[in-house]
Amino acid sequence: MEKPEFDSHLLRTALAQLDRTALRLNLEPDIHERLRYPRRALVVSVPVLMDSGKTEVFQGYRVHHSTVLGPTKGGLRYAPDVNLGEVTALAMLMSWKCALIGLPYGGAKGGVSVDPHALSRRELEHLTRRYTAEIMLFIGPDLDIPAPDLGTDEQTMAWMMDTYSMTQGKSVPGVVTGKPLIVGGSAGRREATGRGIVYAVYHAAHRLGQNLQGLKVVVQGFGNVGSVAARLLWREGCVVVGVGDVRGAIWNPHGFDVRQLEAHVAESGSVAGFPGSEPLGNAELLERPCDILVPAAVGSQLREDNADRVRATIVAEGANGPTTPEADAVLRDRGVTVIPDILANAGGVIVSYFEWVQGLQYYFWRESEIVSRLQEVMTRAFSRVWALAAKEGTDLRTAALMEGVRRVAEGYRVRGLYP
Ligand code: GLU
């Protein structure tokens, strides 16, 4: 097994964002210093008996960035390039995101360095159960609550919940969110991130004097986040002109029928080859003319070398950390409105919070209630960030980070330093 790698683009981005924000907030150096480090990080090895009969060892992580505002919350990602630095950065982003929204959580993240598509269902189940057993002391309904992220889904959460519950001798639904409905999942959780993006885009467009009808949309990534964002924006009257996934991108200046596109993806496994579309490279997709660009795939997609060719007026970050600090500066200078990840994709953790609360009370809400509460929380957060950006004469990312970091810092300040 290789040693855990700490070096990561995303960690550099997250630290650069924190340092910039600390400066703007005039943060006390001792609190700033504490915020730069995760509270605790666990590295585990996850041995799995593969279908071939051989045992393979995967490396896994769970990082709690800050526990000052409550138990920690954040997704679990399965991807080949996951490392300790990336998981730490993502945990840090969860701290700002939860604080910005006003959820009673600190930030956490987990990851296993694995290509989930290369594993059979049995192998994935064993990997998930062994990983859960290895991080058992790190998670719990009032300690740290994982959820899906890149490469994981409802089934992953069901296996985690079952593994944890078996060791407790009872069902513990509150240990994870994003579970299947039948075992305590929430109505509307699956669509929540995509739906939250639509609210954010709606408000941004509205403030810029536009409504959604006829706006041209490009979505990079067609998983749980990108496909729902594309479908709901299309339903609101947007024209979805470009989409991409790991196997390729497609373009149609007249727009796609997103329902038919989803059926094509369900059948073939990719957007590529959708009838009536022009094939594109994924890099080119980001540079095509459109009004709204939704990077909803992996991190560091908008960089110094392509940011000046982005032709959207609004970028809504569905992914975590899709824009490097250099690209951010370029987009800012060019007047592109970037709705930052910690605001744009917060719908997921907002409905995770609803799921957790429902599970703790054994009382479940209707989908219409979830949707209207999500809309209310997103609208409030958007308005706060927009107003702060206007007051400070700054961009939305800076404002969102200022609000998120300020709240976490305030928690450190009032709680003080133990001992
Ligand atoms: N993985 C999602 C995120 O990055 C959701 C986390 C959660 O629901 O806890 O926000």
Q: Which atom of ligand 1 is nearest to the CA of 345?
A: 10
239-245: strand order across its sheet = 278-280, 248-251, 239-245, 216-220, 292-295, 314-316, 337-339
Under-70 pLDDT residues of the chain = 1-4
Q: What are 271's two structure tokens?
A: 């957007």
Residue 4, pLDDT score = 61
Residue 2, pLDDT score = 58
Q: Cα angle at 238 between 346 and 265, to 5 degrees? A: 75
Q: Mark whether 54 is an active-site residue.
A: no
Residue 232, pLDDT score = 98
Total residues found in the chain within this entry: 419
Q: What are 112's two structure tokens?
A: 């296993």
Domain architecture of the chain: domains with CATH: 38-172 (3.40.50.10860), 192-344 (3.40.50.720)
Calculate the dihedral angle through the C-alpha atoms of 310, 316, 318, 320, rounding to the nearest 10 degrees.
Answer: 80
Helix, strand, coil % in the chain, rounded to nearest 5: 50, 15, 35
Instruction: Find the 260 Cα to ligand 1 centroid distance in Å.
Output: 28
Residue 23, pLDDT score = 98
Residue 370, pLDDT score = 98
Q: What are 30's two structure tokens?
A: 């001792």
At residue 286, what is the residue type?
L
Beta strands 239-245 and 278-280 are unpaired
Is the CB of residue 144 below 6 angstroms from any atom belonging to ligand 1?
no
Q: Which atom of ligand 1 is nearest to the CA of 74?
A: 9
Report phi then psi at 319, rounded to 5: -80, 165
Instruction: Find the 278 Cα to ligand 1 centroid distance in Å.
Output: 33
Burial pattern 170-194, b for ≥16 Cβ within 10 A else e, equals: eebbbbbbbbeeebbbbbbbbbbbb
**pLDDT, tens digit, for every residue of 45-65?**
999 999 999 999 999 999 999
**pLDDT, tens digit, for every residue of 303-350?**
999 999 999 999 999 999 999 999 999 999 999 999 999 999 999 999
Q: What are 317's two structure tokens?
A: 């970050």
Contact in structure between 164 and 172 (CB atoms under 8 Å): yes
Is the CB of residue 73 below 6 angstroms from any atom belonging to ligand 1?
yes
At residue 56, what is the residue type?
E
Is the CB of residue 188 below 6 angstroms from any atom belonging to ligand 1?
no
Percentage of residues in the chain having pLDDT higher than 70: 99
Instruction: Find the 144 Cα to ligand 1 centroid distance in Å.
Output: 12
What are the Cα distances from residue 305, in Å, to 57, 95, 301, 316, 326?
36, 29, 10, 19, 9
Name the active-site residue from 73, 109, 179, 216.
109
**Whole-number CA gyration radius for the chain:** 20
Residue 7, pLDDT score = 82
Residue 32, pLDDT score = 98
Q: Which atom of ligand 1 is nearest to the CA of 76?
A: 1
Instruction: Find the 214 Cα to ligand 1 centroid distance in Å.
Output: 30
Report phi then psi at 260, rounded to 5: -65, -35
Residue nearest to atom 8 of ligand 1 (CA): 349
Residue 35, pLDDT score = 98
